[in-house]
C-alpha cells in the first residue's frame, strides 16, 4: 500500500519556514534527522521518494487561459498559518505503519533540539481501476 506523508510547516516571520532563521548547527541536526529517517526507510524497503518544496512565495497557480496558454498567478495560498513543506511516498504493509513513520517524521528536532511535533498528513495513494484490456 502506498501512502503520501505530507509535512505541513508553520509560516515564519518572513513568510517562509522558520528554519531559514535557525542557527547552522540546528539546521544540520534537523537535516541529519531526515537523512537518518530516509536511510531507515530505504533499508526497510519502504522508501519510494521524498521531495522538499520551495516556500509558498515561490509557488504559482497555473490554469489554461481561453487561448489554451498558461495563465499564471502568484501563490495559491489564502490566509493560512501552515503550508506544505514537502512529502514522502512510502510503500508499506498497512496504514498503521504509515502512521508510525509519520509520527517519527513529526518528531524532527527544532532549533533547540526539542521535537517540533510537525503535523504530517497521511493519505493513501489511490490506484487506477482495473482495466479489462490487458
**Domain count of the chain?**
1
What is the structure's pLDDT at 56? 78
What tens digit of pLDDT does each residue of 94-130 get? 999 999 999 999 999 988 999 989 889 999 999 877 7
Distance CA 99, CA 49 (A): 17
What is the structure's pLDDT at 9? 79
What tens digit of pLDDT does each residue of 57-78 get? 788 888 898 899 998 887 655 5
What is the structure's pLDDT at 96? 95
Q: Is 131 a member of any domain?
A: no
Q: What is the DSSP letter of 58?
A: G
Q: Is 84 a member of any domain?
A: yes
Which residue blocks in 1-134 are alpha helix, DSSP H?
24-43, 95-106
| Average pLDDT taken over every residue of the chain | 86
Q: Is 91 a member of any domain?
A: yes
Confidence of residue 84 (pLDDT cuts 50, 70, 90): confident
Q: Is 132 a member of any domain?
A: no
Contact 115, 104 (CB under 8 A): no
Distance CA 44, CA 6 (A): 20
What is the structure's pLDDT at 38? 96
Confidence of residue 31 (pLDDT cuts 50, 70, 90): very high
Put simply, whether the predicted model's pTM sits higher than 0.85 gets the answer no
Question: Which CATH number covers residue 43?
Answer: 3.30.70.1060
Q: Is 105 a member of any domain?
A: yes
Distance CA 124, CA 62 (A): 26
- DSSP bridge pairs for 8: 84
Question: To which residue does cell 510537525 refer?
Answer: 118
Q: Is 129 a member of any domain?
A: no
Q: Is 86 a member of any domain?
A: yes
Q: What are the grid coordinates assigned to 47, written together? A: 522508501
Q: Domain range for residue 76?
A: 2-124
Distance CA 105, CA 82 (A): 17
What is the structure's pLDDT at 16? 61
C-alpha dist (Å) from residue 1 to 5, 92, 125, 126: 13, 5, 8, 9
Q: Is 50 a member of any domain?
A: yes
Amino acid at each position: 500500500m502506498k501512502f503520501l506523508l505530507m509535512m505541513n510547516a508553520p509560516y515564519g516571520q518572513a513568510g517562509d519556514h522558520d528554519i531559514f532563521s535557525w542557527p547552522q548547527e540546528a539546521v544540520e541536526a534537523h537535516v541529519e534527522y531526515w537523512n537518518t529517517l530516509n536511510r531507515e526507510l530505504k533499508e526497510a524497503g519502504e522508501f519510494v521518494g521524498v521531495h522538499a518544496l520551495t516556500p509558498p512565495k515561490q509557488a504559482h497557480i497555473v490554469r489554461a487561459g481561453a487561448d489554451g496558454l498558461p495563465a499564471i498567478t502568484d501563490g495559491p495560498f489564502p490566509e493560512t498559518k501552515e503550508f506544505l513543506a514537502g512529502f514522502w511516498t512510502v510503500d508499506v504493509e498497512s496504514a498503521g505503519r504509515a502512521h508510525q513513520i509519520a509520527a517519527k517524521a513529526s518528531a524532527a528536532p527544532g532549533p533547540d533540539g526539542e521535537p517540533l511535533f510537525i503535523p504530517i498528513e497521511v493519505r493513501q495513494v489511490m490506484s487506477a481501476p482495473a482495466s479489462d484490456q490487458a
